[in-house]
């Protein structure tokens, strides 16, 4: 059986204490209708090591209890959907939203224009968006979010990348770059130069989500 290249990721952001090293493990889920290739992202270090690091940062002794923080994470759903707008896409996205309740959706390789899907996303609660539509059914990057939960400022957008500044009350600002890299070597070179220029002038935390055609 040839496995599909459709991928979705669910990412929860909770800690801003130090650089996080992640272990990425692919697996496949097969049911009577679909073959889903998913990626499990989890801490690369065992929890005891992470707890020791966090205790050191917070100045806690090993005998002290953990402080209670009422922190709400920001959840992202990133999906290389390989075409939006069909019934299968709508059904699967509704299921994912109901299951994970993400604050923001990042959809890549949409192959259709966002204006054809406006009411569908509004009914799911994602009433704010920015996007780069595909060129002749090739590519497409959509970012959709619930405006009551976070503020999103679009910094720049191109056929390969949308860069935004994310802010929420009582949280520091950070930069999110949704990248759909072309397989064309010349366009890739342009993208890497653009990313390097951004990095040279960036002070805030930066999260890059990369997918390649």
* Chain segment 36-56, per-residue pLDDT in tens: 555 555 555 666 777 777 777
What whole-number distance in Å separates Cα of residue 77 and Cα of residue 96? Answer: 8
pLDDT at 3: 45
25 has pLDDT over 90: no
37-51, 139-153, 195-209: which is most confident: 139-153
Residue 104 lies in a domain: yes
119 has pLDDT over 80: yes
101 has pLDDT over 80: yes
Mean pLDDT of 184-212: 84
Residue 30 lies in a domain: yes
Domains of the chain: total: 1
What whole-number distance in Å separates Cα of residue 94 and Cα of residue 120? Answer: 10
- What pairs with residue 135 in β-bridges? 138
pLDDT at 130: 93
pLDDT at 180: 87
Q: Are 103 and 13 in contact (CB under 8 A)?
A: no
Residue 2 lies in a domain: no
Better-scored residue on pLDDT, 45 or 119: 119
Banded model confidence at residue 159, pLDDT cuts 50, 70, 90: confident
Banded model confidence at residue 17, pLDDT cuts 50, 70, 90: very low
pLDDT at 21: 52
What whole-number distance in Å separates Cα of residue 188 and Cα of residue 196? Answer: 12
Residue 156 lies in a domain: yes
CATH code: domain of residue 160:
3.60.10
pLDDT at 14: 46
Residue 188 lies in a domain: yes
Residue 49 lies in a domain: yes
CA 91, 182, 212 angle in degrees (round to 5)? 50
Instruction: Give the count of alpha carbons within 13 A of 192, CB side only.
Output: 8
What are the strands, taking DSSP E only, across the chain? 7-13, 22-30, 35-43, 74-80, 104-108, 128-132, 141-145, 151-157, 161-167, 174-181, 206-212
Phi-psi region of 195 (alpha: psi -120 to 50; beta: other; left: phi over 0): alpha
pLDDT at 81: 87
Domain that holds residue 142: 7-62+72-212
15 has pLDDT over 70: no
């Amino acid at each position: 059986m040839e496995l599909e290249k459709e991928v979705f990721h669910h990412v929860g952001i909770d800690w801003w204490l130090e650089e996080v090293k992640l272990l990425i493990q692919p697996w496949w889920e097969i049911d009577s209708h679909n073959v889903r290739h998913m990626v499990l992202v989890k801490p690369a270090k065992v929890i005891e090591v992470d707890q020791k690091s966090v205790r050191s940062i917070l100045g806690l002794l090993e005998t002290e209890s953990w402080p209670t923080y009422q922190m709400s994470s920001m959840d992202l759903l990133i999906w290389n959907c390989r075409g939006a707008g069909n019934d299968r896409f709508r059904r699967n996205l509704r299921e994912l939203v109901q299951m994970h309740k993400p604050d923001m959706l990042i959809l890549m390789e949409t192959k259709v224009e966002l204006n054809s899907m406006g009411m569908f996303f509004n009914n799911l609660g994602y009433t704010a968006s920015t996007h780069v539509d595909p060129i002749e059914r090739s590519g497409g990057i959509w970012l959709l979010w619930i405006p009551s939960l976070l503020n999103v400022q679009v910094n720049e957008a191109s056929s390969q990348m949308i860069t935004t500044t994310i802010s929420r009350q009582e949280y520091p600002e950070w930069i999110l770059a949704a990248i759909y890299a072309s397989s064309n070597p010349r366009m890739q070179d342009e993208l890497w130069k653009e990313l390097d220029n951004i990095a040279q002038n960036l002070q805030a935390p930066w999260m890059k989500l990369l997918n390649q055609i």
